[in-house]
Amino acid sequence: MIRRVASALTLVSLVACHAKPEGGAPSSTADAGTVAAPSSASLAVDGEKLVKDDCLSCHAEEMLRQQRLTSAQWAKVVTKMTTWGSPVEPENTSPLVAYLASHYGPDAGAYMAATIAAETAAAQIAPEDDGPYVSGDATRGRATFVSTCSACHGIDARGRLGVNLVDRAILYRAGDVAAMVREGRGRMAPLRGVTDAQIADVIAYLRGLRGA
């Protein structure tokens, strides 16, 4: 019972993260606590959703796809990641482990990594021109951050349910920030209605924060 309450509270805070998501309530996020149905088809669908919700805020998917681990190894990994802040609900731990072990087990076959041109890789982390996100107002940005972002990212922006936003290279790639905010990532629902000016303001605020 206590677990259910904790789960419900998590969902409340998730909904609270985004004041006005386009198209009403973020239903895909609110479904996260659904008990897994026993059929293998629904296990697969739920597994993908669990991976998205509980792994992909911090990891890119290829980190999972390249693993070849037994069920026992996956269980240890999921336990470690839960300790480190993965929001996996207790009742979802076993289905998540089962999904990972069935897709990325020892017999999953060869993993073929992608290749990338060196210039492309360098460009992916290089600062970019601010474009439409130039001249943000840090004071307005702070207000927007507190009302819209801080429930998940922490009032200090150092990460909570969402990830740390302080001293990140991506803050100097405003277009990437805008794309991520509008497309969503992990448990973060897309914020399609956010304006360029709001993004510029929040970026201006976050750039002023320092880590140590």
Partner 1 sequence: MLPRRTFLSTSAWALASAFAPQAWADGELTQLGSRPQELATPIAQFDKLITPTPVFFVRSHFGPPALDVNRKLAIDGLVKTPLTLSVEDLRAFPEVTVTAVLQCAGNGRGLMVPRVPGLQWDNGAMGQAAWTGVRLKDVLAKAGVVAGAAHVRLAGADLPPKPTVPAFVRSIPLARALDPSTLLAYRMNGEPLPHAHGGPLRLVAPGWAGDHWVKWLTALRVQKDEAEGFYMQTAYRFPVTPGPPGAPVPPDQMRPLSALPVKSLIASPADGAKVPTGPQEVVGVAFSGAAPIASVEVSVDGGTRFARAALEGEPGVGRWQVFRYRFVQASAAKIVAVARAIDARGNEQPEQAVWNPSGYFWNAWHRVAWEVG
Residue numbers at the binding site for partner 1 (CB under 8 A): 57-60, 62-63, 66-70, 73, 76-77, 83-85, 106, 110-119, 121-122, 124-127, 154, 158-160, 163-164, 166-169, 171-172, 207, 211-212
Q: Kindly state the smallest distance separating residue 177's Cβ from partner 1, in Å.
A: 12
Please, what sign has the CA dihedral across residues 108, 60, 53, 72? Answer: positive
Q: What is the rounded CA–CA span in Å between residue 18 and residue 101?
A: 33
Per-position b or e across 180-209, b if 16+ CB within 10 A of its CB = ebeebbbbbbbbeebeebbbbbbbbbbbeb
Rg of the chain, C-alpha, whole Å: 19
Q: Kindly state the smallest distance separating residue 188's Cβ from partner 1, in Å.
A: 13
The H or E element that residue 106 is part of is none
Q: Kindly state the smallest distance separating residue 156's Cβ from partner 1, in Å.
A: 9
Of the two residues 115 and 135, which places its CB atom closer to partner 1 in the complex? 115
Name the token pair of 207. Answer: 């750039």
Of the two residues 29 and 86, which places its CB atom closer to partner 1 in the complex? 86
Q: Kindly state the smallest distance separating residue 125's Cβ from partner 1, in Å.
A: 6
